[in-house]
Chains A and B, each alone.
Chain A
Amino acid sequence: MDVRNTWANRVSDRGMLYLFLLPTFGLLLFLVIFPLIWSLYLSFCEYSANAAKPPVFVGIQNYSSLFREKEVWDRFVTTGKFVLLAVAIEFFLGFGIAMLLNREFYGRSLLTTLFILPMMFSPAVIGKFFRFMMDTNWGIINYILGRLFGVPKIAWTTSYEYALYSLVITDVWIWTPFIVLLSLAGLSSVPKYLYEAADVDRASGWFKFRYITLPYVAPILILAVLFRTMDAFRFFDVVYVLTEGGPGYATQIIPFYIYKLAFSFWRTGKSCALAYVLLIIIIALSNIYITYLNRLRRA
């Protein structure tokens, strides 16, 4: 059969390339680009997706009202505290564990696998587990603390003193393994001969860490912190399940508040504006990290 005249054969290579790209590009346009542009437009509108009324353009009113409201500032402060605490603890704990795991010992592979398990669970399921474990009256954490150390019942998720820390503890439990993994990757890239040379020179442990280990792993650690910071700013599922934003609104970090504005109060325009403010903050912070990372690489 002569196949040279079929329709498929008449399409050029470049044409075929575009044809293959078309569905992906279409999906990208429909699922990512359009919502981004549309939500940006809505952030300048008075609009409720739940009401049978079209958006009304109001300029920067949504943005200006955000910065006038004390409640919004309070939520930014809560978010800042959460991100700072969670990422700092994850960084030091994760890197420390990686240093311990970065040596040969029996059961190392099994232990490493166990360490990364928390990342594999759904955050909503983890939130539910921690809600049970941190329950004041029948949670296992209070039970153990009470039995072993005589500590009185702690209202982990329902008191102003502890609620934010309960979120930090949960986030640290889930995401420290991420830092461990990246740190291990960085540590394994350090050439062994450098340590051997340092040993010959009778260098101290601190010297080896400061002048051999750290310069090698620093770029990858910065990347790990960058990813965790970006992710911590988008922390939602666990808050929704563990504290529901309470007590009062003490643990309502910005993503949770955006959800409330968008899907509970149906203030779509304002929620879009707040989402863009958060996006700008994340991009700005990421740029600081990336600039520092580039400086490190050049050094």
Chain B
Amino acid sequence: MRIEHVGRNPYVEAGRSEVSGEKGTISFAETLKDAIQKLREVERVADEEVERLAKMETTDIHTAMIALERADLTFQLMLQIRNKIISAYEEIMRMQV
């Protein structure tokens, strides 16, 4: 396991760390970026649905509700993932010394 030199912002630096696994490298940065990207996408869809709801454009109420619920769950999931990534990083940092 190679850990690069840590700068002042632990989250940015967490992105630069790499963990070598059997199947290749998994980077914190990729996983985090991916998570945030998915989060943005779901939020966008939910916002669109709510806007259409507010403007009374053609969509069914259950469609909007499902979109909102998906967004909510995805948010929670990504939050958990982010927290796990950060706590994994912190644990690795503790080991360094």
Note whether A and B form a binding pair.
no
Query: Which residues of A are interface residues toward B (Cβ below 8 A)?
Result: none
Query: Which residues of B are interface residues toward A (Cβ below 8 A)?
Result: none
